[in-house]
Amino acid sequence: MKLGMMGETIVNLIFSYDRMPLPGDNRATVRISVLLREGLITRDLSDILHALRMARNKAVHENYESVEEAQVLLPLAHKLSEWFMQTYGDWEYENRPFVMPEKETAPVKEPGKETEEKLLQEAETAAAASPQVAPDTRRERARRAAGRLSMSEEETRYLIDAHLRQVGWEADTKNLRHSRGSRPKKGRSLAIAEWPTDSATGKKGYADYALFIEEKLFGIVEAKAQCKDIPSVIDGQCKDYARHIREEDEKYLLGQWGKNRWSSTNPSSPSLP
């Protein structure tokens, strides 16, 4: 919940710093979309903000909690905070590695509601009183700061999971994986993680995701941090996985598409992000 509140606060402060009117439809999703459209945040930052927002919603409305998910969201929130500092605070701030908090042996006293409200008001007052920065200058600062971010493969997968779920696939890298017994099933569109192939490339032939609509294989997805050479991954690992589907998995194939032993021509398939 706290991380979600932090993300929402950063979004609101951006509107204040840049003297932007709030949208008529003032939902959090719309505000994030406005910032993305205006070039003030990148797609990666938008994904992080949405991830924090959705986790907060689950925590508030479903009493959801997960240590594993918190261990992914904390460093993502740290990256967002560093970007915000470099864009709206100290332009000379240098990125620092995130250090996971030690397990507390004694309860941590949280600030009271009055303290939180006071800090939020002070931040809003500082934003409103700050010198106005030209839009193009701000966009350039935001772009440069975003370029310093480097997400791990685990963080990238977490965000890809969210994208896949948004367009109709069931995705959960931690639990919905081949090694845990996940297999294609009728009536479900599954993104099964760590699907084995006979490929000799990559991680011993394990594709990050195999996409199944019911019991048919529709595609292979490989997750890589943006600092990697993405085109070479597509030309190398992704294609090689698709060309080396294991013999025991041939029952899932739709057919041949060039050298690739699967097809995604079915018009009923969910659209990929």
Q: What is the pLDDT of residues 236-250, one digit of tens each?
A: 677 788 888 898 998
Q: Identify the weakest region by mean pLDDT among 1-10, 18-27, 94-103, 223-232.
A: 223-232
pTM of the entire predicted model: 0.78
Chain centroid to CA 244: how far? 29
Banded model confidence at residue 64, pLDDT cuts 50, 70, 90: confident
Portion of the chain with pLDDT greater than 90, in percent: 56
For residue 52 the two structure tokens come to: 């924090």
pLDDT at position 11 is 97
Check whether 263 has a pLDDT greater than 50.
Answer: no
Cα 11 from Cα 53, distance rounded (Å): 11
Q: Identify the weakest region by mean pLDDT among 2-16, 61-75, 133-147, 243-257.
A: 243-257
Element (H, E) at 192: strand 189-196
